[in-house]
Amino acid sequence: DGGITQSPKYLFRKEGQNVTLSCEQNLNHDAMYWYRQDPGQGLRLIYYSQIVNDFQKGDIAEGYSVSREKKESFPLTVTSAQKNPTAFYLCASSGRGPHNEQFFGPGTRLTVL
């Protein structure tokens, strides 16, 4: 189902805790992305990585961190500095080049208690 997976599907966090969302792809894609989806807000880019060991901030990077140590993996950490972390998080990947389709994972719904 697309070759890109995210875990867990649902995640609950207490205020003040850091949590890490997993994203793995077996599509041999160079580029990977993290989006945040809120009702009525569309998809907003948090971080992206176009190649291993390199990543860049997106439009709403504050309070988030990422790593890209392997081509297949692009984990996202939601830190305690993120003021409103409750949201649906989507990971995506695409091949190298400017007009390649982005394939999305199934998403992780994070709720802060």
Residues at the site binding other proteins, with contacts judged by CB under 8 A: 2, 33, 40-45, 48, 50, 56, 58, 90, 96-99, 101-102, 104-107
- Closest contact distance (angstroms) between CB of 17 and other proteins is 26
Instruction: Between 33 and 74, name the residue whose CB sits nearer to other proteins.
Output: 33
Instruction: Between 15 and 54, name the residue whose CB sits nearer to other proteins.
Output: 54
Q: Where are the beta strands (DSSP E) in the chain?
A: 4-7, 10-13, 19-25, 31-37, 43-51, 54-57, 64-66, 76-78, 87-94, 103-104, 108-112
Instruction: Between 16 and 39, name the residue whose CB sits nearer to other proteins.
Output: 39
Distance from the Cα of residue 104 to its chain's centroid? 10
